[in-house]
């Protein structure tokens, strides 16, 4: 989908009025946070999610890397009462790396890769009570060097959630054929996210999460550990504004990530 078409779609959905529909489920977006929900979009509806801005800082003994993503878009469409299809694309990414020893700076500005996914819910597709889903996905190497991965990847995510009133517990185990760091070939990566979500009011929700991922890259095995805190505000039944922050818990993880975005159902 061309960049101009996605921008027009985002503008149109943000401006469109939200019509009441008693058959619609409660809004259940993927944003924000580290984990993935088990709920699916109801048939006949679409969800447009976009990360408006995302900044990640990663410092090592040799370098400092700053990465920005603008327009990290995800389009979700309900196919059946328990199955949805997803199309994701990062419209613009910028990476800046500074060598601490020489002071040399490398900059890259490119579009990102495209992600295709299916989510099949196996229990309670509206996310109520106990809910679990299977989500195979694939990434297509359409992004530019330094922003895109450089090769195709794939994986399986198994979102699980337990909802108890205003409090929910979520698990997101995953196994991936992740792209090698040199952009050529794939290796195994696996891990999980554990999160606790809670509603502060009818319109505001928050979540605290921890993520662990073991990456068996041929260039060096690592274990990434992140902690995240995020919040969402729903001004109406069909939209949400969100923000969040992630921090690295060990040397293999980025130092900090800050982001905010928007969701619209139509």
**Could you tell me the residue ranges of all domains in the chain?**
3-265
Q: In angstroms, rounded to a whole number, what is the distance separating the alpha carbons of residues 234 and 14? A: 13
Q: Which two tokens stand for residue 122?
A: 């196996």
Tens digits of pLDDT across the chain (266 residues): 444 444 444 444 444 443 334 468 999 999 999 999 999 999 999 999 999 999 999 999 899 999 999 999 999 999 999 999 999 999 999 999 999 989 999 999 999 999 999 999 999 999 999 999 999 999 999 987 778 899 999 999 999 999 988 899 999 999 999 999 999 999 999 999 999 999 999 999 999 999 999 999 999 999 999 999 999 999 999 999 999 999 999 999 999 999 999 999 99
Residue labelled with tokens 């949805």: 84
Asked whether the CA dihedral 6, 262, 116, 44 is positive or negative, the reply is: negative
For 184, what's the count of Cα atoms within 13 Å in the CB-facing half-sphere? 1
- What is the value of pTM for the model shown? 0.88
Q: Which two tokens stand for residue 63?
A: 């370098």
Give the Cα-Cα-Cα angle 130, 263, 261 (nearest 5 degrees): 110
The three-class DSSP label of residue 106 is strand
Give the Cα-Cα-Cα angle 205, 170, 154 (nearest 5 degrees): 115
CATH code that applies to domain 3-265: 2.40.160.40
The DSSP output letter for 180 is P
Backbone angles phi, psi at 11, to 5 degrees: -65, -40
């Amino acid at each position: 989908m061309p960049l101009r078409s996605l921008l027009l779609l985002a503008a149109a959905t943000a401006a469109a009025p939200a019509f009441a529909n008693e058959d619609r489920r409660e809004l259940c977006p993927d944003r924000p946070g580290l984990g993935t929900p088990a709920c699916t979009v109801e048939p006949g509806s679409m969800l447009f999610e976009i990360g408006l801005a995302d900044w990640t800082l990663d410092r090592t003994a040799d370098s400092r890397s700053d990465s920005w993503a603008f327009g990290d878009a995800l389009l979700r469409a309900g196919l059946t009462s328990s199955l949805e299809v997803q199309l994701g694309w990062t419209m613009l990414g910028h990476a800046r790396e500074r060598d601490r020893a020489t002071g040399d700076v490398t900059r890259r500005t490119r579009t990102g890769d495209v992600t295709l996914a299916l989510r099949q819910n196996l229990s309670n597709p509206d996310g109520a009570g106990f809910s679990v889903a299977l989500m195979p996905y694939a990434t297509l190497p359409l992004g530019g060097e330094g922003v895109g991965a450089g090769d195709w990847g794939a994986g399986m995510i198994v979102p699980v959630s337990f909802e108890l009133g205003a409090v929910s517990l979520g698990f997101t185990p995953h196994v991936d054929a992740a792209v090698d760091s040199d952009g050529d070939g794939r290796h195994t990566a696996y891990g999980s996210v554990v999160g606790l979500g809670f509603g502060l009011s009818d319109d505001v929700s928050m979540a605290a999460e921890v993520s662990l991922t073991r990456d068996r890259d041929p260039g060096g095995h690592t274990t990434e550990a992140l902690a995240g805190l995020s919040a969402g505000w729903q001004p109406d039944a069909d939209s949400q504004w969100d923000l969040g922050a992630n921090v690295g818990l060990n040397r293999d993880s980025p130092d900090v990530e800050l982001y905010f975005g928007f969701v619209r159902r139509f």
